[in-house]
Amino acid sequence: METIKQAGIDPYPSVCSRTHTNKQALDGYDALQAKEITLVGRIRSFRDMGKIIFIHIEDGSAKIQVLFKADNVGADNFKFLLKNIDIGDFIEISGTLFKTKTEEKTLQAISYKLLAKSLRPLPSEHYGLGDEEIKLRKRYLDILMNPEVKDIFIKKNRFWSAMRTFLVQKGFLELEMPVLEAVPGGAEAQPFVTHHNALDRDFYLRISLELPLKKMLVAGYEKVFEIGRIFRNEGISPEHLQDYTQMEFYWAYGDFEKLMDFLQELYQFVIKETFDTLKLSNHGTEVDWSGNWERLSYFDVFKEHTGIDLNTTDVEELKAYADKHKINYEDFAGKGRIIDLIFKKSIRSKLTTKKPIFLINQPIELEPLAKKDSKNPKIVQRLQILAYGSELGKGFGELNDPVDQTERFEAQMKLRDAGDSEAQILDKDFVEALEYGMPPAAGFGLSERLFSMLMDKSVRETVIFPPMKESSKN
């Protein structure tokens, strides 16, 4: 770089004169052949063949070959290129298009300009990045060197864009709710805490989008959604991260049955738009997302796999089952927590059917925000979409009775007092909003776990910069 500067050349100019993308040049070859054009890109290969140099440059659209001859660019410029320009540098090249003997469309250079000097060598295209930790920490290099990785995030963009398109077309309004909350709610999760200097008080990073969006139903909006980041201070696994993107929608006057029909349509639209197929595999298990999905009772599934009838069981029987099957639980764990642990550890992974499942009508102990079933007060209107042995979305007939909601929150607070830090907190402001009246509604949420499962990747692989431990390397 110092040599370049001494030659009076700025190694990082602010202006370039591109006339076409590389893809436009390749696709429009016949029309552009007789014209001088200017292309830009990063040098990905450099072949010195004595009197000529072949390079490949890559911009965001495509890779194209460039030929340099001393007679065309000038002897001094040719020599300068040979000694000072490297793989990884960004360059602007003007010239004309032609085809080589092998019929490769190529730009014959007339002039060139350095756009940005690369001070570190890129990883070898052949060997790439071998260290998985380095791949995640330096994801820009992983994306640069691996088209497959780059494609993940192109598909992820399509995934969320299709989700947004579908909801907007169905009349939903996208709103932005606050990330900082005085009371974290809408899920059972440990929150992150931060301090607001100007207000001199602690706030929580949101663990869900639910409660503020439901207040918007009170406000008079009928269909609302948000696609945004949420934060949960809990463990890492192939399916879990601490900060991730989630979509939640709330639908006034929608009901539990309508919700399931709507979700089939939503998932099928998004998956088809993203992957151009409705048959996708994860770890060798293919799921066909088309057609109608089976609806199974949580109580029936639980009894089939454990022999326990949730209509009559008590916490001691559940603990005995957990102890026998070496399922760990905290001393303070209540009935709902142990039911949930048994389901996650002993049942969910076995539900690997050829089509997705609606698992419906869960015990009331599992869900403080869902409406009771009108025929059986022991169950709530909750659904889980299951595929590949994992939960890939959760929805409710929303609880809008402020008295019932207060009682559910108070039951959760007793669990917190007993030591359950993930139990939900009584949110008096939300209850007050319900007291003004919220229409009957259906609600649903899914996270980017769905995308990662459809990609057959761990969720960390489908996030550009996942949280990681502090590196011991310089």
* 175 in Cβ contact with 226 (< 8 Å): yes
pLDDT at 125: 63
Average pLDDT along the chain: 93
Residue 247's H or E segment, with its range, is: strand 243-252
Maximum pairwise Cα distance, the chain: 90
* 315 in Cβ contact with 334 (< 8 Å): yes
pLDDT at 417: 87
pTM for the whole structure: 0.91
Q: Is the pLDDT at 128 greater than 60, yes or no?
A: no
Q: Which domains does the chain have, with CATH numbers?
A: 2-116 (2.40.50.140), 140-462 (3.30.930.10)
Triad 192, 194, 200: Cα angle to 5°: 150
Better-predicted residue by pLDDT, 134 or 78: 78
Q: What is the pLDDT of residues 48-68, one digit of tens each?
A: 999 999 999 999 999 999 999
pLDDT band at 289 (very low <50, low <70, confident <90, very high): very high
* 360 in Cβ contact with 298 (< 8 Å): yes
Better-predicted residue by pLDDT, 188 or 314: 314
pLDDT at 461: 93
What ranges make up the beta strands (E) of 49-121? 52-58, 63-69, 90-99, 105-116
Q: Is the pLDDT at 391 greater than 60, yes or no?
A: yes
Residue 405, amino acid: Q
Q: What is the pLDDT of residues 418-434, one digit of tens each?
A: 888 888 889 999 999 99
Q: What is the pLDDT of residues 193-232, one digit of tens each?
A: 999 999 999 999 999 999 999 999 999 999 999 999 999 9
Q: How is 29-47 classified by DSSP, letter by letter?
A: HHHHTTS-EEEEEEEEEEE
Q: How far is CA 141 from the centre of its chain?
A: 20
Spell out the alpha helix ranges (H) of 189-297.
Answer: 210-219, 256-275
Q: Is the pLDDT at 190 greater than 80, yes or no?
A: yes
Residue 396, CB half-sphere, CA atoms under 13 Å: how many? 26
pLDDT at 192: 95
pLDDT band at 129 (very low <50, low <70, confident <90, very high): low
Percent of the chain scored above 90 by pLDDT? 82
Q: What is the pLDDT of residues 290-325, one digit of tens each?
A: 999 999 999 999 999 999 999 999 999 999 999 999
Instruction: Using the structure block, give the residue that is written with the tokens 């990609």.
Output: 455
